[in-house]
Amino acid sequence: MTTGSTSTEAFDAVEVIAAKRDRHALTDPQIDWVVDAYTRGVVADEQMAALAMAILLNGMDRREISRWTAAMIASGERMDFSSLSWPTSDKHSTGGVGDKITLPLAPLVAACGVAVPQLSGRGLGHTGGTLDKLEAIPGWRAALTNDEMMAQLEDVGAVICAAGAGLAPADKKLYALRDVTGTVEAIPLIASSIMSKKIAEGTGSLVLDVKAGTGAFMKDLEQARELAETMVALGTDAGVRTVALLTDMSTPLGLTAGNACEVAESVEVLSGGGPADVVELTVALAREMLAAAGRDDKDPADVLASGAAMDVWKRMISAQGGDPDAPLPTAKETHVVTAPASGVLTRLDAMSVGVAAWRLGAGRSRPGEQVQVAAGVVMHAKPGDAVTAGQPLMTLHTDTPERFDRAVAALQGGYDIGEAFGGTTGVVLDRIG
C-alpha cells in the first residue's frame, strides 16, 4: 500500500516532494501537513528522506523555515516558565571540542539573577555532550520530571538536564532520518531542529553559540554565519529574543577534551582560575544572556571572581543527586605525546583532538553506546606557547590502553611547531542579533 495517498489526507506526499524538487516554495498548509503526517507515520521514511534531500539541494525561504519550525513545535508539548519569579534565558551551542561552557555558564548567569533552564544532550562522534560530562560526577542524574525542573529553577536558578520526549517529537524522528540519508548539512533543517526544541522549551530569551572551524559542524565561517542568521530570524519570528555569537572552533576550547577532565576544568573556572579562552567565552555568553533577559546590572566577570557562581554550582549539582565535593573518576592508563621539536606551537587542530578523545572512549559512535567518563585528552600547550623537544604536549587518558594507537594516529598532522605564532583574534568572531 502506498502511504500518503489516502482520501482522508489533505495532501499527497509525492506532490509535496515534487514541489520542492522543482524549486517551488512549500505552502503553509503543505508544511503543516507533511510534518504532522510524518510524525503520525502516514508519510514514509523514504518519502521524507526524498523531501529532506530536495530541501538540502534547493533550500527554503524565511517563511518556509519559520513555518516548518512551528509545525515541529506543534508536534509536541510546550513548556512555560512564566510562573517563575525569575526571568529566564537559555544558551545553545552547535557543538565542538572541549566545549564545557554550559557547566560554568548556567550557575554564573543564575548567580546574576537570571534562571537558566538548560536542556542538554549527549555527545555523538567527536563532539562532546554536556550530560555525558556531568554524569562523571558521582550520583548526578540527568533525567528530571517537569515538576522537578520547575522546583529546582525556582529554588536554585539553574538546571542542566535531559530534554523530555514530549518536546518536538517530529524533530527526534526527522533527526535520526537525516543522520542516515546524507541530509544533516541542510541549513533549514539544522536551524529548525535546534530552534523547534529551544522555542518549545519556553525560555524568555536565547543566546546561540554558533561555532566555525575544523572542530565545528560548520567548518566555514560564512556557512556558520548563514546558520546563525537563520536561527536568530526563527527565534525573532517566534517572539523569543535571540542573539548569536560566532565563535572559533579551529582550536579546542580550554586544555581538556573528555568528560571528567572537562568537569574538573569547569570547576577551576568557577574557582576563579581556568584557561583564558574558557573564561572569555563564558563571560561573553553570560553578558549576552543577561542583556537578553533585561538584567545586565551585574558584571558576570565580577560575579565569577566573587565565588557566587561556585555556590550555585554546588547547589545545582546537589539538587540532582550529585556530590560536588566527591573526587572525579581518573583513567587507569595514560600515554604522553611529546613535542618532536623545539619552537612555538603554531596550530592545534580541534578535529584531531576531538577524534583522539572519541577514540580513547570519551565519545560514542552510535546513540546509546556507553562512554568512559575518565577518558580524554589533557593538553599542556596551546597555540602561541613555546615548547621544547621532548616536552609533554598532551596526555591521553583511557581505561583501555589498546585504544592508544588509534588516538595517537588521530593526532598525527594535527599540530605544528614553528618559529613564531601569527597571533589570534580571540574566541568570539562576530555577533548577530
Query: Cell triple for residue 379?
Result: 593538553
> 208: closest CA among 173, 237, 234, 172?
234
Can you give the residue ranges of every domain in the chain? Answer: 13-59, 90-184+196-319, 333-418
> 359: closest CA among 313, 392, 403, 402?
403
Rama region for 102: left / alpha / beta (φ>0; ψ in -120 to 50; rest): alpha
Decide if 92 is catalytic: yes
Catalytic residue among 20, 67, 92, 198: 92
CB 132 within 8 A of CB 367: no
The Cα 149–Cα 66 span in angstroms is 28
Given this model, what pLDDT does residue 124 score? Answer: 66
Burial of 144 (0-12, 13-18, 19+ CB in 10 A): buried
Catalytic residue among 66, 75, 89, 193: 193
CATH of domain 90-184+196-319: 3.40.1030.10
Given this model, what pLDDT does residue 122 score? Answer: 78
Decide if 197 is catalytic: yes
Phi/psi at 427 (5° precision) = -80, -40
Catalytic residue among 20, 91, 100, 178: 178
Q: Name the CATH topology of 333-418.
A: Aldehyde Oxidoreductase; domain 3 (3.90.1170)
Query: Cell triple for residue 23?
Result: 524549486
Buried b (16+ CB within 10 A) or exposed e, 67-95: bbbbbbbbbbeebebeeeebbbbbbbbbb
Decide if 171 is catalytic: yes
Catalytic residue among 197, 198, 314, 359: 197
Decide if 406 is catalytic: no
Q: What digits encode the pLDDT tens for the residues 240-293?
A: 999 999 999 999 999 999 999 999 999 999 999 999 999 999 999 999 999 999
The Cα 306–Cα 283 span in angstroms is 14
Average pLDDT, the chain: 93
Q: What digits encode the pLDDT tens for the residues 10-47?
A: 999 999 999 999 999 999 999 999 999 999 999 999 99
CB 245 within 8 A of CB 253: no
CATH architecture of residue range(s) 13-59:
Up-down Bundle (1.20)
Decide if 178 is catalytic: yes
Percentages of the chain per state (helix, strand, coil), in multiples of 5: 45, 15, 40
In this structure, the strands spanning 386-387 and 415-418 are unpaired
For residue 372, pLDDT beyond 90: yes
